[in-house]
């Protein structure tokens, strides 16, 4: 009887440990990218995650405010241009490739390299270095 209880307890412990590890993976940065349809952010919800140096936030144009972004598990980023177009013949949707390296926080979208500064359910923040001639060190992009 003791051996059965011990075996049952071992199995339950294994299941508990295995399921808690799976939950951590589900909540990781890559799954946050995939978790919803994102739109351009206008206000930084967490300035503490900005890179050190002089930063410039990407200036979102009025025609871009209704754009949405969907990161796919197939490494395709689908951008829905929304009803407000910046150019008359702009396609309704555009799909580009992306990759994300969780170890070094490198996000590559359509061959452009960015560093992911924040990935939370409220905000995705990524940035790229700028030329020193601009007076800024980094340009920061926000998705919410």
pLDDT tens digits, 62-96: 999 999 999 999 999 999 999 999 998 889 999 99
Instruction: State CA 136 to chain mean position distance.
Output: 23
Strand partners, 77: 71, 96
Residue 136: both structure tokens together = 């800024």
Query: Taking a C-beta distance cutoff of 8 angstroms, is the pair 58, 139 a contact?
Result: yes
Handedness of CA 33, 35, 40, 45 (dihedral sign): negative
DSSP, res 51 = P
Cα(40)–Cα(82) distance, rounded to whole angstroms?
Answer: 12
pLDDT score of 2 more than 80: no
Instruction: Output the pLDDT for position 24.
Output: 38
- Give the chain's domain count: 1
Mean pLDDT of the chain: 84
pLDDT band at 28 (very low <50, low <70, confident <90, very high): low
- Of the CA atoms within 13 Å of residue 90, those in its CB half-sphere come to 16
d(CA 18, CA 12): 10
The CA distances from residue 52 to 123, 136, 138, in Å, are 19, 11, 9
pLDDT tier, 31 (very low <50, low <70, confident <90, very high otherwise): confident
Q: What is the pLDDT of residue 61?
A: 96
Q: Answer yes or no: are the C-beta atoms of 119 and 142 closer than 8 Å.
A: no
The residue range of the domain holding 14 is: 2-143
């Amino acid at each position: 009887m003791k051996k059965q209880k011990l075996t049952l307890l071992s199995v339950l412990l294994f299941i508990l440990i295995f399921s808690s590890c799976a939950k951590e993976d589900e909540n990781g940065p890559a799954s946050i990218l995939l978790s919803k349809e994102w739109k351009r952010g206008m206000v930084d919800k967490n300035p503490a995650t900005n890179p050190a140096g002089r930063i410039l936030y990407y200036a979102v144009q009025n025609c871009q405010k209704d754009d949405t972004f969907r990161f796919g598990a197939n490494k395709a980023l689908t951008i829905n241009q929304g009803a407000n177009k910046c150019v008359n013949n702009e396609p309704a949707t555009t799909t580009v490739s992306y990759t994300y390296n969780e170890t070094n926080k490198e996000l590559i979208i359509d061959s452009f390299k960015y560093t992911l500064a924040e990935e939370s359910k409220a905000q995705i923040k990524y940035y790229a270095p700028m030329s020193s001639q601009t007076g800024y060190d980094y340009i920061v992009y926000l998705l919410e």
